[in-house]
């Protein structure tokens, strides 16, 4: 097995570390649980069969060992590494992240679970595996959320679902929806936004799309899993209000409106309990309050106690070890776990299983329409990129006769997506240089050759190592190639435009660093200065392209580049999609779903990221690596992202909801359906394209609520919509509906959602700071919108940030 350049082995490393820290020494009897795992090969006539007999009859016919076998996955198997599989029969699909155990005598098949949110990932790269199957790399989550276009995301979801089904997979392990709490979060690229509404709606759209094809989505990582540092041991200490309004709210929105077939519990603890062992989270909130109907699986090797996981309602323990099967069997035998509870966990899995392609004996082709999917990937990427700056009409670059000097390694080597389980087994990734060339632009050949030979030479000098060495010591990406000043000056004469391309990558297992990652490197800063000096002296524009997975410091660029295009990590068609925007073939309409601050320290979570470690309690695992107990306290409370920046008047570099277009839009005054709120109220606005080219606008509705008994953010996003493609002079009216829950905040001491009486202001705008019109209404009497259970309470008080404090 050879890891690709962009494939980060941290997840495997952590898995191996975790596995070795646990013991797999088991009585041989348990290794031979009397199951026949090949689905359908030996069904016995007189036994109830899944799909034919009622589920209760199937469960009744199961032995205790079979039940425990079913709620524990089949084990993680990558060629060459054995990890205590519960069932050594061949996997249905090699190289994917997990399988459940089949019980042939009862017609129960083994199901396949594959990563991840941005496309199907095989731990064996498709290039190196026997079947040579490639999959589509879609744009990463952060980019999709920047579309603010749920119809587009659903369309991508349908194509994604077709592909999952065509490869014989039952569940995709995505989407990932955790909140962008801090810019350094190593997996932020897999997630959507700092805001629960954008996050929840985008997730619902992709889940509804995927599941419309008859395969399952797995929403993850439930919940409050916002960092990679000490990810398997960190205790997230957070108030009930911040949980309900921010960290659970996105899951709630997505789950209620899309019923994902599976939920993946996270690695961390919340207020002292592993999420996978939390009855409050998985039963009281998820099932009883939200009405969730699917099943819950653990994250890979997450949590400690499989019996507690069963009691909490974590139906499936993944990827599964023989030790976990034994623990569950023993607990039932010695009365620690009631068999009825085990039966409920089994029933939830079987219920969903009935819908899976494998249960339905779907004959998969292994040949999805990859060409069509590549087109959808390109469309979604182009429709979601965010134009941050465009001075003096630097973009679009009209006329392909222009010669472009492209600076930056990744302009020639696209970062299509992040690393770890979020990587994709893609066949190719179109670089910007290729995209420009395919569109007919002249990319400076000499510069291209210099970069290309530098990158080739680097690769030749740093060949991929054997699997384990690569796991221990991954080959880093090539450092930025330096173009000398005099060459830059010469290019400023011979070319018409400079493109300054900045790339960043990250992924599972590690958070990013401030120096040389969040911040630009000295070399990058130097490159910005010399390129902008030379090209501006020659009166030629410099366009910056950001091919990044998470927020970076844009300040060194902001005042120097003429235009800045935020391409995020745009999937395999990235170079084409970037060129679509650059050429004006697509008018940019993406908006930021995450704030870009002026300084990292402006972020309210920096004080508590990634939290405290307790090294004296560390345990040692494989390769001498340590597992360190840790905790992080969310002292910023609900003031995450723009909720903080707006309320505390901290000016960001680029605010939440911001994004430019090649045209301009006018907003009519806001019209409300009533001046008094009575269970429902609508707000309408008419948007007109007042510029010269066709374009789409995202309208954002924020609400300011009275803050009498509770502190409130100065405003919160409550609805958004994207117009269709408006021709110049054309208009579209958008009507938003507000319901009681949009007015309410969570009152922790009473465990209820309360809308306070008083004056509410609707603010509709083009970003969280660019409000175009406001209108007010009144709520006469305070309203208890929903009464919830007391759950997930912190063990001690949290010194939470409050306005005026
Ligand atoms: C990751 C999950 C992933 C799973 C299976 C874990 O390490 O956190 O997101 O789905 O592995 O690969």
Beta-carbon contacts of 497 under 8 Å, excluding residues fewer than 6 positions away, are: 397, 402, 403, 404, 405, 535, 540, 541, 542, 543
Positions marked catalytic? 299
Distance 44 CA to ligand 1 centre (A): 36
CA of 276 to the centre of ligand 1 (A): 14
pLDDT of 5 strictly over 60 = no
pLDDT tens column, 318-331: 999 999 999 999 99
| Burial class (CB within 10 angstroms; exposed 0-12, middle 13-18, buried 19+) of 493 | exposed
For ligand 1, atom 2, name the residue with the nearest CA.
299
pLDDT in tens, 102-159: 999 999 999 999 999 999 998 665 555 556 689 999 999 999 999 999 999 999 999 9
Substitution candidate for ligand 1 out of 186, 299, 320 with most atoms within 8 A of CB = 299
> Which class does domain 371-594 fall in?
alpha beta
* Cα of 103 vs its chain's centroid, Å: 34
Ligand 1 nearest-atom number relative to CA 11 = 7
Exposed e or buried b per residue across 505-524, where buried means at least 16 C-beta atoms within 10 angstroms of its C-beta: bbbbbbbbeeeebbbbeeeb
Q: If you take atom 3 of ligand 1, which residue's CA is the nearest one?
A: 421
**Mutation probe of ligand 1 site: the residue of 73, 122, 173 with most atoms within 8 A of C-beta:** 173
Is residue 602 classed as helix, strand or coil in its secondary structure?
helix
CB 235 within 8 A of CB 632: yes
Q: Which atom of ligand 1 is nearest to the CA of 319?
A: 5
DSSP string, 314-337: --BBSS--HHHHHHHHHHHHTTSS
Burial of 678 (0-12, 13-18, 19+ CB in 10 A): exposed
**Cis peptide upstream of residue 230 (ω within 30 degrees of 0):** no
* For residue 623, pLDDT beyond 50: no
pLDDT band at 467 (very low <50, low <70, confident <90, very high): low
Residue of the nearest CA to atom 11 in ligand 1? 300
Q: Could you please report the per-residue DSSP string of 740-782? A: HHHH-EEEGGGTEEEE-SEEEEEEEESSSS-EEEEEEEEE-S-
Q: Is 554 exposed, middle or buried (0-12, 13-18, 19+ CB in 10 A)?
A: buried
Residue 177 has pLDDT above 50, yes or no: yes
CA of 299 to the centre of ligand 1 (A): 6
Tell me the percentage of the chain whose pLDDT exceeds 90: 85
The overall average pLDDT reported for the chain is: 92
Q: Which two tokens stand for residue 639?
A: 């003031």
Q: Which CATH superfamily is domain 63-122+167-353 in?
A: Glycoside hydrolase, family 3, N-terminal domain (3.20.20.300)
Answer yes or no: are the C-beta atoms of 50 and 106 closer than 8 Å.
Answer: yes
Ligand 1: atom nearest CA of 98 is 5
Give 726's strand partners.
695
Architecture of the domain spanning 660-787: Sandwich (2.60)
pTM above 0.85, yes or no: yes
Ligand 1 pocket test, pick from 508, 510, 511 with the greatest ligand atom count within 8 Å of Cβ, gives 508
User: What's the CA-to-centroid distance between 421 and ligand 1, angstroms?
Assistant: 6
At 78 the pLDDT is 66
Structure tokens at 459: 């690769």
Cα 763 to ligand 1 centre (Å)? 40
Mind listing the pLDDT tens digit for each residue in 514-556?
Answer: 999 999 999 999 999 999 999 999 999 999 999 999 999 999 9
Ligand 1 first shell, C-beta below 6 A = 11, 97, 115-116, 173, 220, 299-300, 421, 508
State the distance from the centre of ligand 1 to the C-alpha of 514, rounded, in angstroms: 25
CA of 69 to the centre of ligand 1 (A): 21
Which amino acid residue places its CA nearest to atom 9 of ligand 1? 421
Residues with Cβ within 8 Å of 517's Cβ and at least 6 positions away in sequence, in order, are 184, 504, 506, 552
Is residue 318 within 8 A of residue 73, CB to CB? The reply is yes
pLDDT of 135 reads: 95
pLDDT digits (tens, 9 = 90+) for 476-508: 889 999 999 999 999 999 999 999 999 999 999
HEC readout, 216-265:
EEEEEEECCCCCCCCCCCEEEECCHHHHHHHHCHHHHHHHHHHCCCEEEE
Return the number of other C-beta atoms located less than 10 Å from residue 479's C-beta: 11
The number of the ligand 1 atom at minimal distance from the alpha carbon of 173 is: 10
Nearest residue (by CA) to ligand 1, atom 6, is 300
Where exactly are the structural domains of the chain? 9-46, 63-122+167-353, 371-594, 660-787
The pLDDT, as a whole number, for residue 41 is 45
Q: Which atom of ligand 1 sits closest to the CA of residue 116?
A: 10
CA distance 500 to 148: 27
Query: Tokens representing 731?
Result: 């208009």
- Measured from the Cα of 220, ligand 1's closest atom is 9
Q: Which pLDDT belongs to residue 85? A: 81
Would you say how long the chain is, in residues? 805
Q: Report pLDDT for 36.
A: 32
Residue nearest to atom 4 of ligand 1 (CA): 300
């Amino acid at each position: 097995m050879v890891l690709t350049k962009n494939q980060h082995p941290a997840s495997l490393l952590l898995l191996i570390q975790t596995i070795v820290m646990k013991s797999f020494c088991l009585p041989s009897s348990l290794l031979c649980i009397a199951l026949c795992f090949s689905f359908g090969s030996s069904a016995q006539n007189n036994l109830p069969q899944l799909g034919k007999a009622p589920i209760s009859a199937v469960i009744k016919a199961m032995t205790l060992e079979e039940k425990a076998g079913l709620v524990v996955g089949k084990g993680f198997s990558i060629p060459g590494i054995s990890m205590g599989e519960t069932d050594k029969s061949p996997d249905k699909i090699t190289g994917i992240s997990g399988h459940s155990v089949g019980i042939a005598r009862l017609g129960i098949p083994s199901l396949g679970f594959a990563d991840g949110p941005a496309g199907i990932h095989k731990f064996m790269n498709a290039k190196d595996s026997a079947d040579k199957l490639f999959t589509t790399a879609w744009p990463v989550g952060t980019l999709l959320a920047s579309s603010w276009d749920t119809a587009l995301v659903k369309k991508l979801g349908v194509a994604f679902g077709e592909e999952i089904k065509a490869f014989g997979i039952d569940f995709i392990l995505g989407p990932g929806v955790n909140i962008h709490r801090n810019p350094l979060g190593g997996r932020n690229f897999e997630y959507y936004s700092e805001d629960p509404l954008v996050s929840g709606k985008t997730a619902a759209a992709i889940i509804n799309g995927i599941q419309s094809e008859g395969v399952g989505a797995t929403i993850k990582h439930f919940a409050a899993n916002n960092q990679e540092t000490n990810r398997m041991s960190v205790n997230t200490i957070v108030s009930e209000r911040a949980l309900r309004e921010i960290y659970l709210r996105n899951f709630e929105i997505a789950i209620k409106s899309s019923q994902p077939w599976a939920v993946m519990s996270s690695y961390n603890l919340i207020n002292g309990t592993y999420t996978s062992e939390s009855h409050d989270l998985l039963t009281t909130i998820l099932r009883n309050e939200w009405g969730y109907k699917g099943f819950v699986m653990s994250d890979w090797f997450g949590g400690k106690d499989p019996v507690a996981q069963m009691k909490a309602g974590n139906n499936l323990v993944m990827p599964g070890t023989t030790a976990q099967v034994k623990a569950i069997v023993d607990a039932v035998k010695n009365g620690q776990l009631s068999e009825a509870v085990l039966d409920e966990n089994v029933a939830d899995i079987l219920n969903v299983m009935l819908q899976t392609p494998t249960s339905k004996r779907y004959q998969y082709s292994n040949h999805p329409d990859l060409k069509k999917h590549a087109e959808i990937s390109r469309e979604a990427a182009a429709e979601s990129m965010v134009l941050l700056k465009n001075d003096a009409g630097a973009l679009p670059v009209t006329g392909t006769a222009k010669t472009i000097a492209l600076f930056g390694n990744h302009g020639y080597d696209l970062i299509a997506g992040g690393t770890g389980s979020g990587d994709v087994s893609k066949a190719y990734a179109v670089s910007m240089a290729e995209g420009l060339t395919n569109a007919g632009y002249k990319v400076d050949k000499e510069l291209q050759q210099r970069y290309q030979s530098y990158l080739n030479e680097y690769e030749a000098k740093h060949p991929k190592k054997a699997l384990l060495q690569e796991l221990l010591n991954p080959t880093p990406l090539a450092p930025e190639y330096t173009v000398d000043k005099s060459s830059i000056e010469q290019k400023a004469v011979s070319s018409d435009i400079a493109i300054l391309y900045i790339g960043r990558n990250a992924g599972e297992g590690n958070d990013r660093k401030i120096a040389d990652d969040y911040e630009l490197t000295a070399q990058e800063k130097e490159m910005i200065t010399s390129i902008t000096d030379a090209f501006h002296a020659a009166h030629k524009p410099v366009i910056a392209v950001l091919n990044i997975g998470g927020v970076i410091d844009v300040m060194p660029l902001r005042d120097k580049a003429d235009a800045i295009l935020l391409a995020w990590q745009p999937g395999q068609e990235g170079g084409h999609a970037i060129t679509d925007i650059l050429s004006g073939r697509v008018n940019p309409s993406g908006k930021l779903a995450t704030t870009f601050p002026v300084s990292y320290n402006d972020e309210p979570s920096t004080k508590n990221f990634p939290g405290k470690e307790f090294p004296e309690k560390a345990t040692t695992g494989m390769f001498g690596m340590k597992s360190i107990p840790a905790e992080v306290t969310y002292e910023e409370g609900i003031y995450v992202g723009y909720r903080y920046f707006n309320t505390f008047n901290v000016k960001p570099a680029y605010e939440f909801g911001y994004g430019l277009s090649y045209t301009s839009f006018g907003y009519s005054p806001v019209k409300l359906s009533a001046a008094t709120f009575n269970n429902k109220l609508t707000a309408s606005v008419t948007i007109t394209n007042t510029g010269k080219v066709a374009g789409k606008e995202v309208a954002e509705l924020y609400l300011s609520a009275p803050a009498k008994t509770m502190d409130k953010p100065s405003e919160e996003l409550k609805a958004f919509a994207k117009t269709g493609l408006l021709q110049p002079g054309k208009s579209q009216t958008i009507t938003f509906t507000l319901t009681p829950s949009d007015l309410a905040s969570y009152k922790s001491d009473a465990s209820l959602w309360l809308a306070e009486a008083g004056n509410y202001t609707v603010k509709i705008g083009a970003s969280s700071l660019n409000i175009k019109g406001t209108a007010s209404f009144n709520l006469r009497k305070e309203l208890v919108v929903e009464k919830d259970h007391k759950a997930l309470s912190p063990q001690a008080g949290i010194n939470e940030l409050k306005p005026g404090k």
